[in-house]
Amino acid sequence: MISMMRDKPICWFKNNNLIVPKINKQYILKKDLPISKKIGECNYPSGMICKVVKYHEDICLTLEIDFKSISHEEFPLLHRNIDGNEITFKLENASLIGKQYRVSQFYDYFEEFDKDMTMADVLDVRQAMDKLYSAVRGFENSINGMNGDCNSLIVDNYPFQESYDDWVLSFNEWYNSVDDNCYTYRQAIKSLSDDWKDYDNRGKMSGDNPTGELDDV
């Protein structure tokens, strides 16, 4: 008697050297995720928290939205129009309907939520980054205003693998990414906990005025 065994489904994440999302783990949305056109121009907002509730390697990955992580005051239209509390990521060759996406998009938008992160952590890092930004800008202004060649002063033990001008461009990209992450975690912490209130008066996270000091709310 010959037994015909069905091939075990190939996990898309393992096949692409990525961590397999964990069941019942919370994940945070790092940037706005467009919703089905049926719900107009609404997006799932960055800072939204979801939990992985299902993962079938040969079918789909399903997330459950924690609606507490979406502010009613900031996103009333989304709360009024959204239908259901699940988001589905399907395999690349599957047809998509409604609130469904490709599994290849999952880590473009989500990462595992750090439950130990506090508002104090976020604000401290953001304030330090603003001071570093101001220091880099001040140093750049000094170099640009020199009469002599800056290399005569800065070339020895120069720590970067690229020119200073290129490094400044890379730094700006890094600064903006840190700013985005701080904003995302701030939104999540504000929606899920009351512990942030003692810290929120220290500043807002607009990122429009990196002066080394946080603006008043």
On the 0-12 / 13-18 / 19+ scale of CB atoms within 10 A, 77 is exposed
Residue 5: inside a domain, yes or no?
Answer: no
* Widest Cα–Cα separation across the chain: 89
- Mark whether 69 and 126 lie in a shared domain: no
Q: How far apart are CA 113 and CA 187, in angstroms?
A: 13
Statement to judge: residues 134 and 163 lie in one domain: yes
Per-residue pLDDT 10s for the chain (217 aa) are 343 444 556 788 888 899 999 999 999 999 998 876 554 567 889 999 999 999 887 778 899 999 889 888 888 878 777 777 888 888 766 666 666 788 888 999 999 999 999 999 999 999 999 999 999 999 999 999 999 999 899 999 999 899 888 999 999 999 999 999 999 999 899 888 765 555 555 544 444 444 444 443 3
Is residue 102 domain-shared with residue 21, that is, in the same domain? Answer: yes
Say what the pTM is: 0.77
Question: Are 129 and 95 spatial neighbours (Cβ–Cβ below 8 Å)?
Answer: no
Residue 180's domain spans which residues?
Answer: 119-200
Scanning 2-84, the segments in alpha helix (DSSP H) are 12-15, 76-81
What is the tally of structural domains in the chain? 2
What are residue 50's DSSP bridge partners?
A: 27, 65
